Structure 1
Amino acid sequence: MLAACSQIPFGIQEPQVKVTGLELLPAQGMEQRIAVHLGITNPNGRDLSVRGISYNIGIENIDVLSGVSSQVPTLKAYEETPVTVEVSANLLSIARLVQHFSQRAVSDRVSYNFDAKLDFSQWLPSMRVSEQGEIKLQY
């Protein structure tokens, strides 16, 4: 039992996640799917095996896109791993976002946030990661 406990990794640093691109996928009925391209950097000296990921994307602090995936590759040590996940649009949140923009003047930038929970193996606790930024709108 003591040998098994010695295998529990301590001092694991949180991976960094950045959104590298968005891509509209063909609509399926009333549902619009979007591919989100991510770069997940593992700052640790060991590979991290990911069982799954759940994620939300918000615009102007309104969560509008969400999804889950169990198709995440192993995060190689000291590398950035490209990951593509699909999200679906929350129609009620999109209506709130339209209302938000109709009540305020749209600036040349909108803020976004990306929040994800990475679920690792049974010996490593889940980690939450997030990224915030602005998207410049081009007219």
Structure 2
Amino acid sequence: MPLRLIRTLLAGLLILVLNACALLPNRDPLNINVVGIEPLQGQGLEIRFTVKLRLQNPNETDIRYSGVALNLDVNGKLLASGVSDQSGTIGRFSEGIISVPVTVSAFAALRQAVGLSETQGLDNLPYVLHGKLAGGVFGTMRFSDSGTLNLPQPANGSW
């Protein structure tokens, strides 16, 4: 008798869990793009800047977030990473800007410099931005953006 009761309870619990999964919202992914980079005061050998991200919510419900983390790869190598504990809401069918401070370590800058010396120039450097927008257990959204950077050429062929 107890074994039959346990099986019945487990079957009922399985049905409840499957129904709960069906009730989770079906959300479209956020559209996230880099819209600006601004320098910040660094310390020692590090370089710091703020990456501004435009988040567009194409969903019928608001999206609440409570933190963001990102990594910026340039030319196939990690250049910078950053986190921010800012929180907020992006309304349904609307957009917002988030600023994330990121740090470039001296080692990452050196690795990029060596990589750039092996290429033909500073034009069309590929970048990939990976990150996540924290929103609770089921609300965390991962994102990626990619493109190319065109860095200014040094005047008169020298730095």
**TM range, smaller chain:** 0.7 to 0.9
CA contact (8 A) 1:57 1:65 kept: yes
Select 2:145's aligned residue among 111, 119, 131: 131
Select 1:23's aligned residue among 38, 63, 69: 38
CA RMSD of aligned residues (A): 2.3
| More strand, by proportion | 1
Letter matched to residue 129 of structure 1: F
CA contact (8 A) 1:19 1:39 kept: yes
**Percent of residue pairs bearing the same amino acid type:** 27
Provide the residue aligned with 1:102 in structure 2: 117
| SS, match of residue 106 in structure 1 | coil
- Gaps in structure 1 of 5+ consecutive residues: none
Q: Give how far 1:104 is off.
A: 2.0
TM (normalized to structure 2)?
0.76
Select 1:41's aligned residue among 45, 56, 65: 56
Q: How does 1:1-139 map to 2 (within 5 A)?
A: 5=20, 9-122=24-137, 124-139=138-153
Aligned length: 137
Q: Which has the higher contact order (CA 8 A, sep 6+)?
A: 1
CA distance in 1, matches of 2:136, 2:96: 18
TM (normalized to structure 1)?
0.86
CA contact (8 A) 1:12 1:44 kept: yes
Moved over 3 A (4+): none
